[in-house]
Amino acid sequence: MKLQEQVSRQRVKHIVSSYQLSGDEPHQFELYLEELLRLYPYPLIELALIETLVDQWISVPLRRGVEFLAQTHNKLKSWENQPIVSTMTPAQFRDIAGLDPTPIFGSSELPPTCSIVRP
């Protein structure tokens, strides 16, 4: 595994552990997350996790586990055939994720509008 891939995977794991998203079914969650990591670019998974987290903040208690990842996956699938539309700014991403937003947003204030399917 290349260093960049290791760093990207660690960023995703940071989001998951920071918000304890694996829930009561950590094994199933990890299997599902590995499938998403195989299918989608890591930065897009990061954005989808944070977007789903923000969407879920209106729900009490916060959904976790496979149900949370299923909602994240739905968001990723919706981005496959249309431009990625995010209302989140890089600063908001940084505040919520605690991570540098550059891999997701680049140097601009808007998310990239590119295909999320791996080449």
User: pTM of the predicted model, to two decimals?
Assistant: 0.84
Q: How many whole angstroms separate alpha carbon 38 and alpha carbon 59?
A: 29
* pLDDT tens digits for range 9-53: 999 999 999 999 999 989 999 999 999 999 999 999 999 999 999
Alpha helices (runs of H) in 1-119, residue ranges in sequence order? 3-18, 26-39, 42-56, 65-78, 90-97, 102-105
Mean pLDDT of the chain: 87
